[in-house]
Chains A and B, each alone.
Chain A
């Protein structure tokens, strides 16, 4: 575990943007940190589309949107005077992605929290940061909560949950 390595999990939402801003605010002025903005690809549900072409089109659009989000947030960190070399981005592809580029590890899509923790462990990140939606008890039961699962399952790292 490297205390200077921070993994920020982002999903393209306002909550995850807030998490990036929070990290930028904390780290600004500091040197020797390594910040990774991580996105676990969540493909649109294939069954929702009438055919493969429509689904692939949506996958391409989704990827483009997230890649822009990652790069905007990287730029935003630069506005906090965080040197560009301190910030990197990581887009973990879904194993089912039609655009897959044979990644060394891909997301099976069954648990985003587990995928984030896998990256944290392999990359020896000392801190994992995640935004929080703020769901009700019933919503958590039915839809699940990435932040709660990370808090409960994370080991050997510090976890920041940004509301």
Chain B
């Protein structure tokens, strides 16, 4: 007869307190039933489920039932378990609707590709008894980069001159990591602010979540490049600026600079790309890189390499 959760806990961590002692799962197909107090067993590993992962956005918690926060009972360390969840959904980017898919296979493959490369989250994949590809992820000990930047309690000028050069240097490293994926025929698939984290002890930037995919043939990496542009805009601006934010910044509509539609992002039309207009100390060359993502642009970056070839000299000139 197979072990109960109580027996498993006694064997590994007899002093562990667990309010609920649930069931032992060797088949994770029905992930909605698996909850705190259950134990998932696969590939000789025992994972005590603590709770479902949640995504926080605009103060609302969105549970991700297929991602379990766990304790690996053999080592006592925290792990994230991503269970198999096939999902087709539409990503709205401005006026454009993109069909996306969640692919456990893609993420498992990338985890293999980037093993030991700390620019990416680390982990491995293994199958449960029903052949479901479970991804076992190390928890990134840190904070979302955008939140860390937002919470720096300095004005933009101080931020720009005292913090940005170091941040930009690390961001360039993060872009090189994405270029490495592309060179290996892989795309991140979901480059956005909450998927780049800052590891607390090293200050290094770490990409997370590679399970999104989409089907673009002519420009397979275009969405990743666009994502990097959006991140750069946030990093340089220490936030995004809408028309209203600009008026607030200047205290009066009459004092605010003239902003045209072409100054905003091509896709998110309420985010100012031409930051030089509100922060004139932003150098022309850096602003020029940002303007490649604006509605007024006539030339776009097709590859991360092109993007970096113009971004790297900006950092050099800022120092």
Chain A residues at the B interface, C-beta cutoff of 8 Å? 42, 44-48, 50, 109-113, 136-146, 149
Contacts and interface: CB of A to CB of B under 8 A. Distances in A.
B213 A143 contact: no
Contact of B217 (A42, A46, A139, A140): A42
Please provide the 5 A-B residue pairs with the shortest distance between their CB atoms, ordered closest to farther. Answer: A144-B219, A144-B218, A47-B103, A47-B106, A142-B222
B294 to A, nearest CB: 11
Given A45-B101, A50-B86, A142 B96 contact: yes
Contacts of A42: 217
A2 to B, nearest CB: 27
A141 B267 CA distance: 10
Contacts of B86: 50
B307 to A, nearest CB: 12
A110 B186 CA distance: 11
A87 B51 CA distance: 63
Contacts, number: 64
A46 B300 CA distance: 28
Q: What DSSP secondary structure best describes chain B's contact surface?
A: loop
A41 to B, nearest CB: 10
Contacts of A149: 218
B256 interface: no
A139 B218 contact: no
B13 to A, nearest CB: 35
Given A138-B266, A142-B223, A47 B218 contact: no
Interface string B205-216: 000000001111
B93 interface: yes
Contacts of A109: 217, 220
A145 B222 CA distance: 11
Contacts of B3: none
Interface string B67-105: 000000000000000000010000001111010010101
Given A109-B217, A112-B217, A112-B218, A141 B106 contact: no
26 contacts: A45-B213, A45-B214, A45-B215, A46-B105, A47-B105, A48-B101, A48-B103, A48-B213, A50-B86, A109-B217, A110-B220, A136-B95, A138-B94, A138-B266, A139-B96, A140-B300, A141-B226, A141-B267, A141-B300, A142-B98, A142-B222, A143-B216, A143-B218, A143-B219, A144-B302, A149-B218
